[in-house]
């Protein structure tokens, strides 16, 4: 994070701050603000946050707008900032200037909504404006790229807070795919096993790393009702009281089809995923997600003559309470009676990124209409 002072630049048509001095040249995702003396929210300070400083979350909000938050709490920081932008009721958020904004989500139907708050400070009422420079949605209607400037006056006061936000999901996808496919060196000496590592801030894995094998736990595999594969990994039959281990892992392909080797991207929580999306859920030891986003790479799926699953090998990535899959994650690998050599079955990360770029990624580079 950088904190710095900025010069305010006024024009005849708008009074936005020029944020080019704080916008990180190499960062596709960042949040910057500059607070004038007397502004309550920013307390007269300026700051810039990038992915190197903490975690971002981005989502559609219920007023057809976009919400962005940043936190460095998992890294022993003390920053949490939240931004909400919404168009007037009944319209889609699109590039352009939105004047006379009032506090989201309490704005009148004819007014844009805006709210920037954080670090324990928020406005009861506010006025402001924002300018959307770029917005694109993926084929599921979720934000893929976003960039906007905003100006906010808290409680009708003259001092302003000026800010800028930018988001590019491709930046997150590239890093996460590299982490995911890097797990092919795990469990190579085991036909059956579970390995996971959890990033700081991930709720399910609690920031831990663990390898479980049949010497310590029992593995059970079954077909689930979405024609996918489900696992239970427990030590109930062999543990002392207070030392129980229980993990559950579910995979499902779109359209109720059988799982086959390949990448299943944009997965959301099983069994609540719509028919056109993969399902995934990793939970246990008393922890589970209400919603989630992620992906998984099936390395091997071996079926018997009757269709019963007999062998399976997959990598998985799960972001709890984050369907866009850009926040803290748990990454893992599950093997059950697996036989395929990983290096022969998993494509390079650059190959998968190319498939995403020229397939579903370009499909979603459109403005969403409602």
Six-digit token string for 176: 């996460």
Question: What does DSSP assign to residue 73?
Answer: G
How confident is the model at residue 241, as a pLDDT?
73
Six-digit token string for 272: 């609540």
pLDDT at residue 236 greater than cutoff 80: yes
Report the pLDDT averaged over residues 30-42: 98
Closest CA to 212 of 300, 293, 282: 282
How confident is the model at residue 213, as a pLDDT?
96
Residue 345: count other Cβ atoms within 10 Å of its Cβ. Answer: 14
Instruction: Give the list of residues 6+ apart from residue 86 with CB closer than 8 angstroms, or none.
Output: 61, 63, 64, 65, 66, 93, 104, 105, 107, 112, 113, 114
Q: How confident is the model at residue 14 (pLDDT cuts 50, 70, 90)?
A: very low
How confident is the model at residue 160, as a pLDDT?
98
How confident is the model at residue 147, as a pLDDT?
98
Q: Give the global pTM.
A: 0.85
How confident is the model at residue 29, as a pLDDT?
96
Q: How confident is the model at residue 348 (pLDDT cuts 50, 70, 90)?
A: low
pLDDT at residue 98 greater than cutoff 90: yes
DSSP β-bridge partners for residue 128 = 101, 152
pLDDT at residue 238 greater than cutoff 60: yes
How confident is the model at residue 347, as a pLDDT?
56
CA angle 186, 293, 330 (to 5 degrees): 30
How confident is the model at residue 133, as a pLDDT?
97
CA 361 to chain CA mean position, Å? 16
The residue with greater pLDDT, 150 or 13, is 150
Residues 125-135 pLDDT 10s = 999 999 999 99
Strand 262-269 relative to strand 279-284, pairing: parallel
CA–CA distance, 177 with 209 (Å, rounded to integer): 19
Q: Are 250 and 271 in contact (CB under 8 A)?
A: yes
CA–CA distance, 324 with 266 (Å, rounded to integer): 8
pLDDT at residue 360 greater than cutoff 60: no
Question: What does DSSP assign to residue 341?
Answer: -
pLDDT > 90: what percent of the chain? 79
How confident is the model at residue 106, as a pLDDT?
96
Interaxial angle between packed helices 169-181 and 349-356, expressed in degrees from 0 to 180 and rounded to the nearest 10? 150
Report the pLDDT averaged over residues 355-361: 44
């Amino acid at each position: 994070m950088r904190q710095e002072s900025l010069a305010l630049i006024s024009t005849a048509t708008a009074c936005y701050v020029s944020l080019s001095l704080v916008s990180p040249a190499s960062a596709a995702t960042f949040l910057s603000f500059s607070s004038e003396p007397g502004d309550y929210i920013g307390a007269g300070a300026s700051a810039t946050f990038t992915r190197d400083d903490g975690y971002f979350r981005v989502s559609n909000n219920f007023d057809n707008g976009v919400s962005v938050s940043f936190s460095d709490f998992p890294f022993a920081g003390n920053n949490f900032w939240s931004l909400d932008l919404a168009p007037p009721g009944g319209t889609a958020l699109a590039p352009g200037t939105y004047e006379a904004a009032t506090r989201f989500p309490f704005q009148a139907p004819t007014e844009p909504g805006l709210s920037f708050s954080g670090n324990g400070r928020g406005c009861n009422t506010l006025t402001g404006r924002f300018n959307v420079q770029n917005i694109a949605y993926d084929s599921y209607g979720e934000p893929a790229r976003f960039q906007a400037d905003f100006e906010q006056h808290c409680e009708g006061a003259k001092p302003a807070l000026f800010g800028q936000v930018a988001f590019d999901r491709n930046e997150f996808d590239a890093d996460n795919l590299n982490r995911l496919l890097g797990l092919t060196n795990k469990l190579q000496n085991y036909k059956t096993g579970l390995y996971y590592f959890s990033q700081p801030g991930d709720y399910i894995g609690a920031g831990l790393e663990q390898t479980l094998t049949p010497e310590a736990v029992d593995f059970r595999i079954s077909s689930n009702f979405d024609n996918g594969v489900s696992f239970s990994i427990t030590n109930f039959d062999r543990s002392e009281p207070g030392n129980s281990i229980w993990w559950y892992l579910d995979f499902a392909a779109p359209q109720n089809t059988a799982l086959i080797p390949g990448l299943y991207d944009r997965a959301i929580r099983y069994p609540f995923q719509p028919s056109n999306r993969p399902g995934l859920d990793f939970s246990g030891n008393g922890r589970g997600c209400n919603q989630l986003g992620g992906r998984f790479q099936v390395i091997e799926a071996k079926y018997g003559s009757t269709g019963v699953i007999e062998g399976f090998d997959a990598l998985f990535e799960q972001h709890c309470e984050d369907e866009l899959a850009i926040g803290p994650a748990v990454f893992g690998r599950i093997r059950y009676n697996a036989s395929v050599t990983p290096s022969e079955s998993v494509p390079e990360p650059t190959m998968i990124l190319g498939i995403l770029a020229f397939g579903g990624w370009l499909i979603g580079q459109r403005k969403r209409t409602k």
